[in-house]
Amino acid sequence: MLQTVYRWIDERLEISPIIDHALKKRVPDHKHSAWYYWGGICLFFFMVQVVTGILLMIYYRPGPDAYDSVRQITYEIRFGWLIRSVHAWSANLMIGAVFVHMFSVFFMKAYRNPREFGWWSGLALLALCMVFGFSGYLLPMDELAFFATRVGLAIPDALPGMSQLISALLRGGPEVSSATLQRFFALHVVVLPAIFVPLLGFHLWLVQKHGNALPPSEEAKPAAERRSIPFFPNFAMRDMAVWLMALNLLALLVALFPLQLDVAADALKPAPVGIHPEWYFMSQFEALKLLGHVIPGTLGEFVGLGVFGVGMGMWAAIPLFDSRVTTSLRARLTTWFGLLFLAALILLTIIGYIEVL
Ligand code: HEM
């Protein structure tokens, strides 16, 4: 019966070459193989986001009623707190997993020819994840969300000409208001998914096309000494086991630290002390603050944003700079650059938290 259905579909859609390709796919097996799970972990959390996001949309009401609808979801609707907490925790875990995935790809030098587009599409996905986080943060319209968004939007305001653009496009006026909320909602549930999903499809298609990259230590070995395992069922089963661990971690965090709701935002009240962005914006926030001590005022922010721009450009250009030989000076310089970048991110985040807590 199943075979008849399969043949009926195959005659029309010719799916058997795709199935054959998937069944033949192999994954390198070596001492760094555990890093291959991280892309899948990002994917798992993304799927959790889609499902819980759709469930939240059933009760969330963008507009003047937003805060009240989130209060109902959190304290009145059955399991509403669970869905909201899972959505928020999974967002944080997803961004954390994307960072781990990016640095593991970096240190395995998996951005090299022919995987440059994997690197670039990945960077775009990371940027989109961060905008997802920033836009989602405002949606409850509580005090914390309101002031964090106000601070966040004030940063690009420092760039010449940006203030009007941000007021017109994002904030919907000179101050964060329900017009901003409406825009952020559209961004969060329509614009970002519409860009993210096809880009993710492209990213995953590239992985199928090129297969998993070998780290330099494995590439140095003769081909006969390299080991690999079939993707189906061996690696897929391991992937599932890792997803189960990710689900357990998520459940634990949600049960122990369910998301709360602050008081409703009030633009007339002064900002609460120690207002700070989410952890994944903390290093940039702190870098701007430190630079502000050296070059005060708008010029400091302007220089800071310029430095970020150049830094991101260099990070994106890595596959062009270090494209082939593992033992070259360029390869070593790139590894040092990555180590320095990682250390700066961690250090600035820690200093940022010490200052605000
Ligand atoms: C939502 C975000 C992302 C998702 C869902 C995702 C998903 C995946 C998956 C499932 C794989 C195959 C398994 C693996 O090698 O881990 C992969 C590979 C890859 N990803 Fe991502 N990824 C994301 C973000 C990124 C970022 C931020 C970068 C780097 C800037 C990146 C660069 C790459 C590269 C170069 C590969 C190929 C690795 C190899 O050949 O071994 N990805 N990604």
Please tell me the distance from the alpha carbon of residue 90 to that of residue 253, in angstroms, as a whole number.
10
**For tokens 């940022």, what's the residue?**
352
Burial class (CB in 10 A: 0-12, 13-18, 19+), 237: exposed
Q: What is the mean pLDDT of residues 257-272?
A: 92
User: Is residue 130 in contact with ligand 1, taking CB distance under 6 Å?
Assistant: no
Give the residue, by CA position, lying nearest to ligand 1 atom 25. Answer: 122
Please tell me the distance from the alpha carbon of residue 254 to that of residue 53, in angstroms, as a whole number.
16
From the list 119, 103, 101, 120, the residue with the least C-alpha distance to 111 is: 119
Q: Which two tokens stand for residue 247?
A: 């689900």
**For tokens 């993304």, what's the residue?**
46
Task: Parse the chain into domains and list their residue ranges.
Answer: 37-264, 274-357
Please tell me the distance from the alpha carbon of residue 30 to that of residue 102, in angstroms, as a whole number.
19
Q: What spatial distance separates the first Cα and last Cα of the chain, rounded to whole Å?
A: 64
The reported pLDDT for the residue numbered 163 is: 79
Among 42, 129, 323, say which to mutate for ligand 1: greatest number of ligand atoms within 8 Å of CB.
42
> With contact defined as beta carbons under 8 Å apart, do 236 and 22 qualify?
no
Q: What is the mean pLDDT of residues 27-36?
A: 97
User: Is residue 45 in contact with ligand 1, taking CB distance under 6 Å?
Assistant: no
Q: Is 77 helix (H, G, I), strand (E, B) or coil?
A: coil
Q: How far is the CA of 281 from the centre of ligand 1 (A)?
A: 21
User: Is residue 98 in contact with ligand 1, taking CB distance under 6 Å?
Assistant: yes
Q: Which atom of ligand 1 is nearest to the CA of 108?
A: 41
Q: Which two tokens stand for residue 6?
A: 């399969």
User: Is residue 112 in contact with ligand 1, taking CB distance under 6 Å?
Assistant: no
> What residue ranges in 26-172 does DSSP mark as E strands?
26-29
Q: How far is the CA of 24 from the centre of ligand 1 (A)?
A: 21
The reported pLDDT for the residue numbered 327 is: 76
User: To which H or E segment does residue 19 belong?
Assistant: helix 16-24
Which of 166-170, 218-222, 252-256, 274-278 ranks highest by mean pLDDT? 252-256
Q: What is the mean pLDDT of residues 56-81?
A: 97
Binned at pLDDT 50, 70 and 90, residue 325 comes out as confident
Please tell me the distance from the alpha carbon of residue 314 to that of residue 291, in angstroms, as a whole number.
20
Question: Would you identify the CATH topology of the domain 37-264?
Answer: Cytochrome Bc1 Complex; Chain C (1.20.810)
Binned at pLDDT 50, 70 and 90, residue 310 comes out as very high
Percent of the chain scoring above 70 in pLDDT: 100
Q: How far is the CA of 245 from the centre of ligand 1 (A)?
A: 19
pLDDT at 274 over 90: no
Beta strand pairing call for 26-29 and 227-230: antiparallel
The reported pLDDT for the residue numbered 275 is: 85
For 23-59, give one letter per residue: b (16+ CB within 10 A) or e.
eebebbeeeebebbbbbbbbbbbbebbeebbebbeee
Q: How far is the CA of 67 from the centre of ligand 1 (A)?
A: 36
Q: Which atom of ligand 1 is nearest to the CA of 38?
A: 16
pLDDT at 114 over 80: yes
Among 37, 207, 239, say which to mutate for ligand 1: greatest number of ligand atoms within 8 Å of CB.
207
Binned at pLDDT 50, 70 and 90, residue 301 comes out as confident
Q: How far is the CA of 288 from the centre of ligand 1 (A)?
A: 29
Q: What is the mean pLDDT of residues 236-254?
A: 98
Binned at pLDDT 50, 70 and 90, residue 167 comes out as confident
pLDDT at 80 over 80: yes
DSSP string for 149-201: HHHHHHHHHTSTTHHHHHIIIIISSSS--HHHHHHHHHIIIIIHHHHHHHHHH
From the list 32, 83, 73, the residue with the least C-alpha distance to 220 is: 32
User: Is residue 46 in contact with ligand 1, taking CB distance under 6 Å?
Assistant: yes
Burial class (CB in 10 A: 0-12, 13-18, 19+), 195: middle
pTM summary value: 0.95
> With contact defined as beta carbons under 8 Å apart, do 227 and 30 qualify?
yes
